[in-house]
Structure 1
Amino acid sequence: MAPQEQVKFDLHTHHDRCGHAEGTISDYIESAIDKGLHYIGISDHSPHFYSEDDHLFPGITMPISEFQSYVQEVLELKEKYRDKIHVLLGMESDFFPEHHKFYAEQIEKYPFDYVIGSVHYVNEINIFQKDRWEGVNEEEQIRTKEEYYRLIQASARSGSFQILGHIDAMKGYYPEFSVIPTNLVDETLQVIGENNVAIEVNTSGKMKYCGGWYPSDELLERANFYGVDITFGSDSHVATRIADDFDEVKKKLKQIGFKEMVYFVERERRAVRL
């Protein structure tokens, strides 16, 4: 399909089911309509499918028992708003290599337009845990960063995801993460490009200590070199942030040398000319 023009979208959004976002799915859809979007992706956090506990981490993800109702609500709203906006069924799925097969089985049960694969845990510690870097020496920092990117590589090779989420988000509460030396960042971008998985420009980094977006301009330049597809997600946890910095992202990507952005409908890649 040839690249389209003038298509505005946001593929990374959350709502109150996950326990740390505000507002209903309808609130996010209405905000997207008000801001002139053509497509709005609903992509709340996946439950911890592997757990025997229905709600392993309240305040982080929805309960397992809510997952089917989440899918059903999005499909109903897709129909309700069909004359105003295209509502896409998505999910942000944690990537745990040891549980990947089971997660993939759950994903295949439902008609997702796309799934975002995100690494939120490295060595069983959340990447956003503010004290995880305290007392960590240089050698341990390098090992941690390399493990993060090994997990991202594995997620790219898994075949379950159309998009990889916030691929340098470990800098969120530790900006020094970006300058920890390792060749695995370039290697990871090459793997992502070879596996035809998109990465997102995620504008929620501005809400963390690091400021700015995920990934950094430097990583975007390297991603362009390796032929990686780029999409957009605000990672909104409040409806007012829908499409936050969308136009600025487009300008930056064009300056870097990208020719298009992508989005997904029924897991089919579609391109938008920059």
Structure 2
Amino acid sequence: MKFDLHTHHERCGHALGTIEDYVKQAIDYGLKYIGISDHTPYFHSEEDQLYPGIAMAKSDLAKYVEEVLSLKEKYQDKIHVLLGMESDFFPDHFNVYREQLLKYPFDYIIGSVHYVHDVNIFKKGRWEGLTSQEQVEVKEEYYRLIQQSAKSGFFQVLGHIDAMKGYYPEFSAIETNMIDSTLEVIGQEDVAIEINTSGKTKYCGGWYPSDEILERALHYNVKVTFGSDAHKPERICDEFELVQKRLKEIGFKEWAYFVEKKRYLTAL
């Protein structure tokens, strides 16, 4: 069964195409489920749209939900359209995000850490001038935040759990035991992680997370799902079959999708 739980659209300010463009493309590609999961607004900001090039305005959220639900009904005979959201995880503002997102009938919410020490993980040059020990501290804080997001009990999926390597491939070589402890927590909390194929759009190439992390994830009984993180319709389900094949080689037997926040497992 073909599905993709991680897609964006023009409302976030850095993706191309309307939501309907993604739905139509998914139908053309033969998907059974297409998840629409744009970025949460910055709910903790007093501004309606803090960063127009990163996330939708707070005033747009209700319209986003309404549009996805309308398309869900319009195309119900051709594809299952899932209402998702990729939510930032800010521990200090978690309750605000939770309160806002509980207002809507999401099928799933992806929890993603995009900021460490108040700096975007994809900011080019953020590693410049850091000592080896400081690099370790940044990486460990990243995984502490991911652990907290897993323990929150709010997310069905954790997004791109080694994406900090995006513009700094050397990130993967920074030695720490935090990855294993994080995967252990994720397994205990029974939250899924996504295999996200958008790493190919950054310096690091490949997928998030790495094969090595996926092998450790299997050891800790972590459930997996698929998300292209498409920012243009053509990238929907990008490398789906390759991911499917690799997961089988690693030893996974199934992967997950979500409807009304209930997890369903389907054979690889």
Work out whether the TM-score is over 0.5.
Answer: yes
- Aligned positions, number: 268
List aligned pairs for 1:1-274, cutoff 5 A: 7-274=1-268
Shift of 1:70: 0.3
Shift of 1:56: 0.6
Please state whether the residue corresponding to 1:192 is helix, strand or coil. Answer: helix
Alpha-carbon distance between aligned partners in 2 of 1:187 and 1:38, rounded to the nearest angstrom: 35
Shift of 1:210: 0.4
Please state whether the residue corresponding to 1:91 is helix, strand or coil. Answer: strand
Shift of 1:239: 0.3
Alpha-carbon distance between aligned partners in 2 of 1:268 and 1:166, rounded to the nearest angstrom: 21
Unaligned runs of at least 5 residues, structure 2: none
Q: Tell me which amino acid in the other structure corresponds to 2:257.
A: Y
Alpha-carbon distance between aligned partners in 2 of 1:58 and 1:39, rounded to the nearest angstrom: 29
Shift of 1:102: 1.0
Unaligned runs of at least 5 residues, structure 1: 1-6
Q: Tell me which amino acid in the other structure corresponds to 1:193.
A: G
Alpha-carbon distance between aligned partners in 1 of 2:200 and 2:40, rounded to the nearest angstrom: 24
Shift of 1:97: 0.1
Shift of 1:266: 0.4
Q: Percent identity?
A: 68
Structure 1 residues 151-174: Cα deviation after superposition (integer angstroms, max 9, x where no partner): 000000001100000000000000
Shift of 1:64: 0.3
Shift of 1:90: 0.2
Normalised TM-score (structure 2): 1.00
Q: Tell me which amino acid in the other structure corresponds to 1:260.
A: E
Shift of 1:135: 0.8
Shift of 1:192: 0.3
Alpha-carbon distance between aligned partners in 1 of 2:218 and 2:173, rounded to the nearest angstrom: 20
What corresponds to 1:4 in structure 2? Answer: none
Structure 1 residues 12-36: Cα deviation after superposition (integer angstroms, max 9, x where no partner): 0000000000000000001100000
Q: Tell me which amino acid in the other structure corresponds to 1:221.
A: E
Shift of 1:58: 1.0
Please state whether the residue corresponding to 1:262 is helix, strand or coil. Answer: strand
Please state whether the residue corresponding to 2:108 is helix, strand or coil. Answer: coil
Shift of 1:106: 1.0
Q: Tell me which amino acid in the other structure corresponds to 2:4.
A: D
Please state whether the residue corresponding to 1:14 is helix, strand or coil. Answer: coil
Q: Tell me which amino acid in the other structure corresponds to 2:151.
A: R
Q: Tell me which amino acid in the other structure corresponds to 1:46.
A: T
Moved over 3 A (4+): none
Alpha-carbon distance between aligned partners in 2 of 1:114 and 1:95, rounded to the nearest angstrom: 15
Q: Tell me which amino acid in the other structure corresponds to 1:124.
A: D
What corresponds to 1:3 in structure 2? Answer: none
Over the residues paired in the alignment, what is the CA RMSD in angstroms? Answer: 0.4
Please state whether the residue corresponding to 1:90 is helix, strand or coil. Answer: strand
Structure 1 residues 101-146: Cα deviation after superposition (integer angstroms, max 9, x where no partner): 1111111111000000000000000000011011111000000000
Alpha-carbon distance between aligned partners in 2 of 1:49 and 1:68, rounded to the nearest angstrom: 13
Normalised TM-score (structure 1): 0.97
